[in-house]
Amino acid sequence: MRRDPARSAAHLQGRPQSQRQLRVGEELRHALAWTLEEGNIRDPALADTPVTITEVRVSPDLRNATVFCLPLGGGTDAEAAVLEGLRRVKPFLRHRIADRVRLRHVPDLSFATDTSFDTADRIEAILHSPEVARDVVGDGDGHGHGDAADRDAADRDAADRDAADGGDTPDETAGGSRDGA
């Protein structure tokens, strides 16, 4: 039986993972993190660089897993070296996973750099940019997206005007006269 390549890559696409996939992925992440923390890996690329395993996505058949990792304190050169080092020690990592996690088959591991933190930083920068801030607050032409903020500002202005006019409140003016007569 031939595997459909689109189906085997489904764990990387936008399809939500099942509870089983999530549970196995989390178990694999813990086992890999524990193994890297022990320091028994004798690869020069991994010896001096701490590596964070951020996520493990498992295919629906649990035969393949993509390990998303991030080397701490390094640039793109460090990322490439760490990924290559992880690929070199993959048999050792699979053996350690087999010791720690009860699975019928240890998944084949592939490694990728986690870019979610970079994406979050870019989104944060966009949200704090002057153009977006202007759109959120409104640009004064009445067509901004900051309608709630505009209403709040108008309410504050009206309250300030009322206070400057002598502090009239609706209860005081209900009788029609300010002097109480």
Q: Could you read off the pLDDT of 94-118 as tens digits, one per residue?
A: 998 888 888 888 898 999 888 777 7
Structure tokens at 155: 């309410």
Strand 64-71 to 51-58 pairing: antiparallel
- pLDDT at residue 10 above 50? no
Give me the residue spans of the domains in the chain: 5-114, 129-164
- pLDDT tens for each residue of 58-104: 999 889 999 998 888 766 777 888 888 899 989 999 998 888 888 88
Mean of the pLDDT values across residues 145-160? 60
pLDDT score at 161:
63
Angle at 92 between CA 26 and CA 81, to 5 degrees: 85
Instruction: Tell me what percent of the residues of the chain surpass a pLDDT of 70.
Output: 67
Please count the residues of the chain. 181
pLDDT score at 126:
81
- pLDDT at residue 13 above 80? no
CB 60 within 8 Å of CB 52: no
- pLDDT at residue 139 above 80? no
What is the C-alpha separation between 118 and 131, in angstroms, rounded?
21
Task: Sort 94 into a burial class: Cβ within 10 Å, 0-12 / 13-18 / 19+.
Answer: middle
**Sequence-distant (≥ 6) Cβ neighbours of residue 110 within 8 angstroms:** 64, 65, 66, 67
Task: Sort 120 into a burial class: Cβ within 10 Å, 0-12 / 13-18 / 19+.
Answer: exposed
Structure tokens at 55: 């996520």
- The pTM of this model reads 0.60
Q: How confident is the model at residue 2 (pLDDT cuts 50, 70, 90)?
A: very low
Q: How confident is the model at residue 181 (pLDDT cuts 50, 70, 90)?
A: very low
pLDDT score at 11:
45
Domain with residues 5-114, CATH architecture? 2-Layer Sandwich (3.30)
